[in-house]
């Protein structure tokens, strides 16, 4: 039976190791944290090609999608693009980024616009193609698309330093509902 | 038998056209086919020129169409698409629906893509410095407008309609006006080019029409002249033939009448009892016999000529010794020659090779030449007969040349080309009342050619003439074969 004086450093060492591994897995894309299942797809956050922004944290994303920021660092007005309610991409954004239900999200904007706490009212588009074209046309636009719907007309930004194809990316959506 | 100017006869018969009739005579003598060939060549050449002009006009018209009409159409399309770019942007202003706004933005961008393509195409086809400058200016102005348009579209999509209108008023209107002016300027440029090219086509067409009319007129005149010339030449030939025939009939009648008159007169004297004594009767008989022979000879000549003309004459060819033929002819004409007091100088090379010929025809040929020499010797009473072996004219072979020479009146150089024509007798001969039918030389020439040879003449006026019969000799081998053939089949007919 080990002595009491030797067990404590072992626990402390194991705790450090676990913490380090956990930190490394968050930072390094090669160390998976929660890989998407076969039925899931990554959700890409996209901006206009002229937008210099490269990376946003989840917190910054939340602020943006809740309309709590009005301008980009380059002075361009922010235009928020959402897909219509019922779309899995929108549901994923609401749950993963805004951490709200559909009704909470609507109430947030109604209340915020009334009180002046919210500066941007989201534009609602019916299709991913519409979202992509909108972001392409508006320099201050930010929206989201399935990674498979992205093309060269828009720019994908990193979320917490990770691109959708990298391990450890946090925004996943379920597959499109079958029609 | 010599020369009478047949053209003088013709001139008496129909109205003569100086300078033209000699040419027509040449045409009549040779062939009107040559004239038709010339007409054909001229018409073909003219046709080629007309085709070339047509091609040039066609190419000009095509250039005008491609360069101006298509160019104007392109500019029209550019104007339309530019308006469409702006119009679709304004349509986006009319709705709050982001989906519709995106659709209008798409339409605007599609139209602007077509405008860009049109400008690039125009730049590619620009040739003059002015065109290149215009294309570059349009490209720059269009890019300026697109920058404003993009801002306007962004503002519309962001929902800032007011800002979009302000942006357009501040920059869009001016920049689009510049684009419109550029397009108008290019259109004006195209209009100018089209007008210039149209003027070119009109000028080319006018030139072509004038040239075509001139060419057609020339061709028509030339063709008419050709037809007239051909008709006239044929008519002249027919008249000439008729004249010659009439002259021949008159000449033959005269030739027949003279001996007939002598015979008739002698017969009258005998019947009237004016002839007494045996000697006188013999003298009259001799006169009648000689005149009868003269008539017979004349008739023979005519028949012989007729048979050579209808190409039905048949010659029996056999190896002949020329010396024997000459001696035979001299024997036959000795009465004539001695009667007229002629001295005959005979030079025949020894051992002359044989020739292949018809004895009777060759004798007739030589006889005609000797009789001619007698007729046209004038006061001279000398005839030379020479036979020798010599090179042919082209020196390719050997031939026997038999020359019958006189020191008589000679032949005018201008008439040399006519003396072998049938019935031809010169005016000087007729005036000198030298009798003949104009057939002797023609017959001699035909016979010479039928024997594979030819008849040539050298003559000087007032110095005399020398007619030479050229006959090809037989090679030894040929001679043996012909002799063998002659033994088995006595006649060789051609």
Give dist(CA B241, CA B445) in Å, integer: 20
B99 contacts A133? CB cut-off 8 A: no
Q: Which residues make Cβ contacts (< 8 Å) with residue B275, sequence separation at least 6?
A: B269, B281, B284
Q: Which of A123, A124, A138 sits opposite B154 (nearest CB)?
A: A138
A139 contacts B99? CB cut-off 8 A: no
**Same domain assignment for residues A54 and A123:** yes
What DSSP character marks residue A34?
S
Domain assignment present for A69: yes
B154 contacts A137? CB cut-off 8 A: yes
Q: Which of A125, A137, A138 sits opposite B99 (nearest CB)?
A: A125
**Same domain assignment for residues A26 and A66:** no
In this prediction, residue A177 carries a pLDDT of 54
Give dist(CA B18, CA B8) in Å, integer: 12
Tally of structural domains, chain A: 2
Domain assignment present for A124: yes
Q: At A77, is the secondary structure helix, strand, or coil?
A: strand
Element (H, E) at B472: strand B464-472
Domain assignment present for A179: no
Q: Does A126 touch chain B (CB under 8 A)?
A: yes
**Same domain assignment for residues A62 and A120:** yes
Q: At B460, is the secondary structure helix, strand, or coil?
A: strand
In this prediction, residue B483 carries a pLDDT of 58
Domain region containing A25? 1-31
Contact B27, B229 (CB under 8 A): yes
In this prediction, residue B481 carries a pLDDT of 62
Domain assignment present for A92: yes
In this prediction, residue B136 carries a pLDDT of 92
**Same domain assignment for residues A72 and A137:** yes
**Same domain assignment for residues A7 and A92:** no
CATH number at residue A48: 3.40.190.10
Best A138, A140, A142 member to test B by mutation, with max B CBs in 10 Å, is A138
Which of B288, B347, B316, B302 has its CA nearest to residue B440?
B302
Phi first, then psi: give them for residue B43, nearest 5 degrees: -65, -40
Q: What residue spans of B129-171 are helical by DSSP H?
A: 129-158, 161-167
In this prediction, residue A19 carries a pLDDT of 40
Q: Which of A77, A125, A140 sits opposite B98 (nearest CB)?
A: A125
Which of A19, A22, A44, A20 has its CA nearest to residue A32?
A22
**Same domain assignment for residues A73 and A155:** yes
Give dist(CA B311, CA B314) in Å, integer: 9
Contact A91, A148 (CB under 8 A): no
Q: Kindly state the tokens that stand for B277.
A: 């004594």
Give dist(CA B386, CA B346) in Å, integer: 6
Domain assignment present for A36: no
Give dist(CA A5, CA B265) in Å, integer: 194
**Same domain assignment for residues A53 and A20:** no
Domains contained in chain B, CATH given: 35-219 (1.20.1440.210), 315-488 (3.30.565.10)
Q: Which residues make Cβ contacts (< 8 Å) with residue B172, sequence separation at least 6?
A: B86, B145, B148, B149, B152
pTM, whole model, 2 decimals?
A: 0.50
Distances (CA, A) of A164 to A8, A27, A146, B15, B469: 41, 14, 9, 115, 121
- Smallest CA–CA distance from B157 into chain A, residue: A138
Domain assignment present for A134: yes
In this prediction, residue B155 carries a pLDDT of 93
Q: Find the chain B residues whose C-beta atoms sit closer than 8 A to any C-beta of A.
A: 98-99, 102, 105-106, 150, 153-154, 157-160
Measure A121 CA to nearest chain B CA, in Å. Answer: 10
Domain assignment present for A178: no
Which of B153, B40, B29, B142 has its CA nearest to residue B90?
B153
Domain assignment present for A114: yes
Residues of B in contact with A79 (CB under 8 A): 157-159
Measure B169 CA to nearest chain A CA, in Å. Answer: 20
pLDDT in tens, chain B (494 residues): 333 444 344 444 445 556 666 666 666 556 667 777 877 887 788 788 778 878 887 887 787 777 777 788 888 899 999 999 999 999 998 998 999 999 999 999 999 999 999 999 888 888 888 889 999 999 999 999 999 999 999 999 998 889 999 999 999 999 999 999 999 998 888 888 878 878 887 887 788 788 778 878 887 887 788 788 878 878 888 888 788 778 778 777 877 887 888 899 889 988 888 888 888 888 889 889 888 987 887 788 778 777 776 555 567 788 889 998 999 899 888 888 888 899 999 999 988 888 888 888 899 899 999 988 998 888 888 999 999 999 888 777 889 999 999 999 899 888 888 888 877 888 878 777 777 778 889 889 988 988 889 999 999 988 899 999 999 887 766 666 665 555 544 444 44
**Same domain assignment for residues A45 and A25:** no
Question: What are the DSSP calls for B245-299, one per residue?
Answer: HHHHHHHHHHHHHHHHHHHHHHHHHHHTT---SHHHHHHHHHHHHHHHHHHHHHH
- Smallest CA–CA distance from B107 into chain A, residue: A133
Give dist(CA B401, CA B390) in Å, integer: 7
A79 contacts B157? CB cut-off 8 A: yes
In this prediction, residue B491 carries a pLDDT of 40
A and B: number of Cβ contacts within 8 A: 38
- Smallest CA–CA distance from B149 into chain A, residue: A137
**Same domain assignment for residues A46 and A24:** no
**Same domain assignment for residues A142 and A74:** yes
In this prediction, residue B443 carries a pLDDT of 86
**Same domain assignment for residues A165 and A103:** yes
> What's the complex ipTM?
0.73
Measure A9 CA to nearest chain B CA, in Å. Answer: 60
**Same domain assignment for residues A98 and A169:** yes
In this prediction, residue B71 carries a pLDDT of 80
Phi first, then psi: give them for residue B18, nearest 5 degrees: -60, 150
Q: Kindly state the tokens that stand for A6.
A: 């030797």
């Amino acid at each position: 039976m080990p002595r009491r004086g030797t067990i404590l450093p072992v626990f402390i060492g194991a705790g450090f190791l676990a913490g380090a591994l956990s930190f490394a897995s968050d930072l390094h894309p090669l160390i998976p944290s929660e890989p998407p299942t076969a039925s899931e797809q990554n959700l890409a956050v996209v901006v206009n090609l002229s937008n210099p922004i490269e990376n946003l944290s989840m917190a910054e994303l939340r602020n943006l999608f809740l309309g709590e920021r009005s301008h980009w660092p380059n002075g361009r007005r922010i235009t928020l693009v959402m897909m219509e309610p019922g779309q899995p991409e929108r549901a994923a954004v609401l749950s993963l980024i805004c951490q709200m239900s559909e009704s909470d999200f609507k109430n947030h904007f109604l209340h915020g616009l009334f009180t002046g706490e919210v500066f941007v009212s989201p534009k609602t588009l019916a299709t991913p193609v519409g979202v992509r074209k909108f972001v392409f046309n508006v320099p201050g636009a930010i929206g989201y698309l399935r990674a498979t719907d992205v093309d060269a007309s828009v720019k994908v930004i990193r979320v917490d330093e990770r691109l959708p194809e990298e391990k450890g990316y946090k925004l996943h959506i379920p597959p499109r509902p079958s029609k | 038998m010599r020369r009478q100017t047949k053209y003088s006869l013709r001139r008496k018969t129909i109205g003569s056209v100086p300078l033209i009739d000699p040419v027509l005579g040449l045409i009549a003598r040779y062939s009107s086919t040559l004239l038709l060939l010339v007409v054909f060549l001229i018409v073909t050449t003219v046709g080629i020129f007309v085709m070339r002009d047509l091609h040039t006009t066609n190419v000009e018209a095509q250039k005008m169409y491609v360069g101006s009409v298509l160019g104007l159409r392109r500019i029209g399309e550019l104007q339309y698409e530019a308006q469409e770019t702006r119009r679709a942007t304004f349509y986006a202003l009319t709705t709050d629906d982001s989906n519709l706004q995106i659709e209008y933005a798409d339409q605007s961008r599609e139209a602007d893509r077509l405008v860009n393509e049109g400008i690039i195409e125009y730049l590619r086809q620009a040739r003059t410095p002015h065109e290149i400058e215009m294309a570059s200016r349009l490209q720059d102005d269009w890019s300026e407008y697109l920058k404003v348009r993009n801002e306007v579209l962004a503002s519309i999509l962001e929902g800032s309609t007011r800002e979009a209108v302000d942006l357009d008023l501040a920059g869009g209107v001016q920049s689009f006006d510049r684009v419109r002016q550029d397009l108008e300027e290019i259109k004006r440029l195209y209009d100018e080019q089209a007008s210039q090219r149209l003027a070119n086509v009109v000028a080319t067409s006018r030139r072509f029409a004038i040239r075509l009319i001139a060419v057609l007129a020339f061709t028509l005149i030339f063709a008419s002249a050709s037809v007239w010339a051909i008709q006239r030449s044929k008519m002249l030939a027919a008249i000439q033939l008729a004249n010659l025939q009439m002259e021949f009939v008159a000449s033959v009648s005269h030739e027949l009448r003279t001996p007939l008159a002598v015979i008739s007169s002698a017969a009258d004297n005998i019947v009237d009892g004016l002839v007494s004594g045996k000697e006188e009767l013999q003298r009259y008989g001799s006169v009648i016999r000689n005149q009868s022979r003269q008539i017979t000879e004349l008739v023979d000549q005519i028949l012989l000529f007729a048979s050579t003309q209808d190409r039905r004459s048949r010659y029996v060819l056999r190896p002949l010794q020329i010396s024997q033929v000459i001696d035979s002819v001299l024997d036959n004409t000795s009465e004539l020659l001695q009667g007229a007091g002629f001295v005959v100088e005979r030079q025949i090379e020894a051992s002359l090779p044989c020739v292949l010929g018809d004895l009777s025809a060759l004798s007739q040929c030589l006889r005609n030449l000797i009789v001619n020499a007698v007729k046209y010797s004038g006061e001279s009473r000398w005839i030379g007969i020479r036979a020798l072996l010599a090179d042919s004219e082209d020196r390719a072979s050997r031939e026997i040349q038999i020359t019958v020479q006189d020191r008589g009146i000679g032949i005018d150089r201008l008439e040399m080309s006519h003396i072998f024509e049938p019935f031809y007798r010169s005016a000087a001969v007729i005036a000198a009342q030298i009798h003949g039918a104009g057939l002797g030389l023609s017959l001699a020439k035909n016979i010479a050619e039928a024997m594979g040879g030819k008849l040539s003449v050298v003559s000087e006026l007032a110095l005399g003439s020398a007619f030479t019969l050229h006959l090809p000799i037989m090679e030894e081998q040929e001679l043996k074969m012909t002799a063998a053939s002659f033994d088995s089949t006595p006649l060789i007919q051609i």
